[in-house]
Chains A and B, each alone.
Chain A
Amino acid sequence: MSSLRKARTGLIFFPAFDWAISPTHPEREERLLYTRDQIFEEGLMDLPEIEEYKPRLAEMKDIARTHFCVPDVESQVTQAHLIAAGSTLTLADALEKGEIRNGFALVRPPGHHSMRVVHGNRGFCNINNMAILVEYLRTKYSHKRIAVVDTDVHHGDGTQEIFWHDPNVLCISFHQDGRTLYPGTGSVNEMGGPQALGRTLNIPLPPGTTDEGIHYVLDNLILPILAEFKPDLVLNSAGQDNHYTDPLANMRFSANGYARLNEKLAPDICVLEGGYAVETALPYVNTGIIQAMAGLDYSHVKEPDYVPGRFVQTDEMWREIKKTVGQVQKIWDDRDELVKDALQGLGDFYRRKKRVFYDTDMINENQEEVVRLCSNCAGFITISSSAQRGYGILNTAFCVSLPRGACSSCREDAKEEYEEHVDDRRIGYVYMQDKDRDKFKFCNNMTHTQRGY
């Protein structure tokens, strides 16, 4: 305990003051300006409890370990994306070396709407910083069980999709009900693939949910589930748009509520996601989160117009929240049975079709995902994807993902799948992701060139 107290909180502040989606976009240069002013004026980086780190650029391989970027990683990311993703990796290294006891990547651009296959930007995200961090922690530091708690107001659909079939990554997202907010998903019955049912948990909350409501969910559902799951690490996709002043959402969470949440959740690493009330929320929320993580007193953080008790939930909202908590609790309790039942009705493969819309880049994607249900390993996954931007080019891709600990039969079959699709002129790009060997290759069928990371 004494050594824990001595270790510091690692902080990477990368506001990307020279990067924007477009000049007036919420994801613009100004977003973390007032946060900069506040945390610099507070002198937080000088406090002995806090250690500031300089971010590094993530490598192409770090991205390819998580994503299938079409046509390649280089065309989907800018340097700002590599720095934001690299920040989380710098903190992971510091954490594993014991230099810090926890860390906060206060960085932009965000990532939690990016899915496994990337054709463009959706929900302000190109690559998923959190998922990249998870895969890095598992590959480099051999962590097995990781919990990701998404506290952004929007459903963390990208992170959910990436770990959908993975029972070792518990994805919990609470968010404003998808029927009232982008991206529209995240209902209770989205609970993971057949092998991982109950390891994706969604808690949709009614618009107007307050500190009380969110802390009810935390205390009565999330914290007990985490205690049962016993993850090696808890990670927080720390969006700040549940705040009562956020211009894009309708919740009633406060800076103090956010700070208290992080104190209770005690995440090993926090990664900033959304949050667009640049003056009225972000400076206060970020200060509060940093203080809570560093074990400092956050009771002096207060928005200028906030008075305790300002927001009250109606009885109806309370009923809805409690009902949702009960439903999710049941899914969690029944998880092993759910998996058993689901697998019984399936053969050697599980297939699903899905459509993904990239709102920022106006791309429509159609996917067919096939998972080998293998009794010896997690089974390999293939994804056929075709995506069209407006009436423009149709990009098609065939992706093969080989899991950690893949059995020899899956390895052989996956290799065959990859090779079968190479030089198939109906498909533009073919990808092979070998997580065991940490090797990633892809082939451009139009130019017959193969490359790897």
Chain B
Amino acid sequence: MLIGIDVGGTTTDAVLVDGGSVTKTAYVPTDHDDLLKCLLGALDELVKGVDTSKIERVVLSTTLITNMIAEGKTDPVALVLIPGPGTNPKDYSLGEAIILDGAIDFRGKEIERLNESQIKDAASKISGQGFSRVAVVGKFCQRNHAHELKVGEIMARAMPEAEIELGHRVSGQLNFPRRAATTMLTVATKDKYREFAEAVARALKHRKISSPVYILKADGGTLPLDKSVQMPVETIFSGPAASIMGVLALTTPGQTSVVVDIGGTTTDLALILSGKPLLSSKGAQVGSLLTQVRAFAVKSVAIGGDSVINVAGGCLAIGPHRNGPPLCMGGTGPTPTDALRVLGLSSIGDGAKAKKAMQDVADKLGCSSLEAAQSVVDAVVDRIVFEVNEMFQEWEQEPAYRIWEIVKKERLLAQSVIGVGGGAPALVPLVAARLGAASIVPEYAPVANAIGAAVARPTLTLNLHIDTERNEYIVAEEGLIGKVTDKKMTTEYAERLAKRLLAERAERLGIGEYAGEAEVTYSEVFNMIRGWTTVGRLLDIRMEIPAGLLPSWGPC
């Protein structure tokens, strides 16, 4: 038996999956001030009368980190940068930062030494300002950790109580400002996240649920709860990730589809391309910060069932705000939900009130209420179709750096539009028709998110950089540096090395059994020519266990 719980914006949904199908669902309203209570409330509701000893796995997806950041409840962090030559750090929107001397270049070579007394001064300044959390991030530190380690060490000696996070442990990919932001958010959320994780563990123990507990990440993968405390920000946006994984679980594999989650004020859109959810190319945007958190590319459009309708100069304007519920459900003004009711596309609420709402709109437009309702629905569908087309176009226009990528990139068209969320059943067929795609609203659409959490498998990424001229390989996130003796290392050998290192990392994170699912998602090799001879090779391999479903999930 598998349990999935998604703490969503309005409700907390829970499902029980057994033998490849959903056997029970439960939900409680979400109380944003006590997520733990919601989670346990939904869980208790779900496991009533269930033999908890048969539970094999519990997966949670929570809005904890999202809310913390949105509400500004993260802990204060001192940011220490070792930027070296390049951009003026002030051009990054990272806020106040202490800038240290010292520099590493793209090859991992030290090009400027650290200044120890400057570091000590920085440490006393930081502790003097009352910070107990520090993020230390150097440019190209993923190619050589020495500076970050040294700065971290000096800071730790000066501030033994402080929590210090080093950039290279957070991400091995290129992008210094994103890595700085991600490192900052990691250390800013770590303590509160740990408290939450420990509380969950205690509560489950108290309920005699002894199965492993996982948390869902923004890339649709799971991670053991106790390991996730090292990387709390990765759990951001796990709600949309849960829905997308749910859609994967509930539909035919391998399709290209659009996931449309129509809520009250917003509609979330995501793409599944040939069966694989599209990831945002460089990482998620969290509030105003660009990060390196791997996340599905989700576009939030400010239009939904409760969007306010205005008529100005004979033109309809829908959204972006909500002025309360639809008129047909006791609200004060017309909304798209009222329009759907008038057209007979839904049976929610009071028909007479819906008609009144549309009559208001019709009076301003100078048409019948039926025509007004049709115009409103058309406008909503237009907007969603426009945004979906934009998403496909953005994907097609993503920059590429090799000839074959530019020449070969195919055009993809949506085969199906899959609806989840409250407004889905009425609107999805209309959107699908416009896109020339099949319309699918799965049977369990309202709890697709919880199903997604229940059946998602772990994900993992490993970035391996090899520089055979410098005789070393490096896995930044692990802080691992190894020796290389073969100057002419082949891609095949490097990929085998990556596979072994990924298996070791998976083992440490408690997801070793999935290491076999890993695949190479990026691989490049360059000969280094100096003069007319090859002096070495640079190889970069990214290996991933991609998002996927547990093998035991088998319907469809």
Which residues from chain A sit less than 8 Å from chain B, CB to CB?
12-19, 23-24, 28-30, 33-34, 36-38, 40-47, 52-55, 57, 79-80, 83, 279, 283-284, 287, 291, 296-297, 299-304
List residues of chain B with CB within 8 A of the CB of A80: 403
Q: A37 and B91: CB pair below 8 A?
A: no
Tell me, in angstroms, the Cα distance from A34 to B532 when the chains sit together: 19
Q: Is B528 an interface residue (CB 8 A)?
A: yes
Tell me, in angstroms, the Cα distance from A80 to B40 when the chains sit together: 58
Q: B538 and A43: CB pair below 8 A?
A: no
How many whole Å from A161's CB to the nearest CB in chain B? 28
Interface residues as binary, B93-114 with A (CB distance below 8 Å gives 1, 0 otherwise) = 0000000000101110001100
Q: B83 and A300: CB pair below 8 A?
A: yes
User: Assuming A43-B92, A283-B106, A297-B91, is B85 touching A17 (CB within 8 A)?
Assistant: no
Pick from B87, B397, B407, B527 the residue with the most CB of A within 10 Å. B87
How many whole Å from A129's CB to the nearest CB in chain B? 16
Which residues from chain B sit less than 8 Å from chain A, CB to CB?
83, 85-88, 90-92, 103, 105-107, 111-112, 139-140, 174-178, 282, 290, 397-404, 406-407, 524, 526-529, 532-534, 538
Pick from A17, A80, A297 the residue with the most CB of B within 10 Å. A17
Q: B106 and A304: CB pair below 8 A?
A: no
Tell me, in angstroms, the Cα distance from A301 to B84 when the chains sit together: 9
User: Assuming A17-B524, A42-B86, is B529 touching A23 (CB within 8 A)?
Assistant: yes
20 extra interface residue pairs, beta carbon distance < 8 Å, beyond A13-B401, A18-B403, A19-B403? A16-B402, A17-B402, A24-B534, A28-B527, A34-B106, A37-B106, A41-B86, A42-B87, A43-B176, A46-B290, A54-B399, A54-B406, A57-B406, A79-B403, A297-B88, A300-B85, A300-B87, A301-B86, A302-B85, A304-B103
Q: B107 and A43: CB pair below 8 A?
A: no
Residue of A nearest to B529 (CB): A24
Tell me, in angstroms, the Cα distance from A53 to B402 when the chains sit together: 14
Q: B86 and A300: CB pair below 8 A?
A: yes
List residues of chain A with CB within 8 A of the CB of B174: 37, 40-41
List residues of chain A with CB within 8 A of the CB of B290: 43, 46
Residue of B nearest to A28 (CB): B529
A-B pairs with beta carbons under 8 Å apart, 17 shown: A15-B401, A19-B403, A30-B526, A37-B174, A38-B86, A41-B174, A42-B176, A42-B177, A45-B399, A46-B175, A55-B406, A79-B406, A80-B403, A283-B106, A287-B86, A297-B88, A304-B85
How many whole Å from B522's CB to the nearest CB in chain A? 12
User: Assuming A37-B106, A41-B106, A42-B176, is B85 touching A23 (CB within 8 A)?
Assistant: no
Q: A38 and B402: CB pair below 8 A?
A: no
Q: A34 and B85: CB pair below 8 A?
A: no
List residues of chain A with CB within 8 A of the CB of B398: 54
Tell me, in angstroms, the Cα distance from A47 to B524 when the chains sit together: 26
List residues of chain B with CB within 8 A of the CB of A29: 526-527
How many whole Å from A325's CB to the nearest CB in chain B? 32
List residues of chain A with CB within 8 A of the CB of B178: 43, 46
Tell me, in angstroms, the Cα distance from A18 to B139 when the chains sit together: 27
Tell me, in angstroms, the Cα distance from A302 to B174 when the chains sit together: 20
How many whole Å from A200's CB to the nearest CB in chain B? 34
Tell me, in angstroms, the Cα distance from A333 to B88 when the chains sit together: 42
List residues of chain A with CB within 8 A of the CB of B399: 12-13, 45, 52-54
List residues of chain B with CB within 8 A of the CB of A83: 403, 406
Residue of B nearest to A300 (CB): B88
List residues of chain B with CB within 8 A of the CB of A13: 399, 401
List residues of chain A with CB within 8 A of the CB of B92: 43, 47
Q: B85 and A43: CB pair below 8 A?
A: no
Tell me, in angstroms, the Cα distance from A52 to B400 when the chains sit together: 11
How many whole Å from A322's CB to the nearest CB in chain B? 33
Tell me, in angstroms, the Cα distance from A33 to B107 when the chains sit together: 11
Residue of A nearest to B407 (CB): A79
Tell me, in angstroms, the Cα distance from A24 to B174 when the chains sit together: 27
Tell me, in angstroms, the Cα distance from A79 to B534 when the chains sit together: 26
List residues of chain A with CB within 8 A of the CB of B406: 14, 54-55, 57, 79, 83
Residue of B nearest to A305 (CB): B111
How many whole Å from A107's CB to the nearest CB in chain B? 10
Pick from A41, A44, A53, A301 the residue with the most CB of B within 10 Å. A41
How many whole Å from A352's CB to the nearest CB in chain B? 38
Q: A54 and B400: CB pair below 8 A?
A: yes
List residues of chain A with CB within 8 A of the CB of B532: 24
List residues of chain B with CB within 8 A of the CB of A291: 87
Residue of A nearest to B93 (CB): A48
List residues of chain B with CB within 8 A of the CB of A46: 175, 177-178, 282, 290
Residue of B nearest to A35 (CB): B106
How many whole Å from A398's CB to the nearest CB in chain B? 34
Tell me, in angstroms, the Cα distance from A23 to B526 when the chains sit together: 10
Tell me, in angstroms, the Cα distance from A297 to B91 when the chains sit together: 8
Tell me, in angstroms, the Cα distance from A303 to B106 when the chains sit together: 12
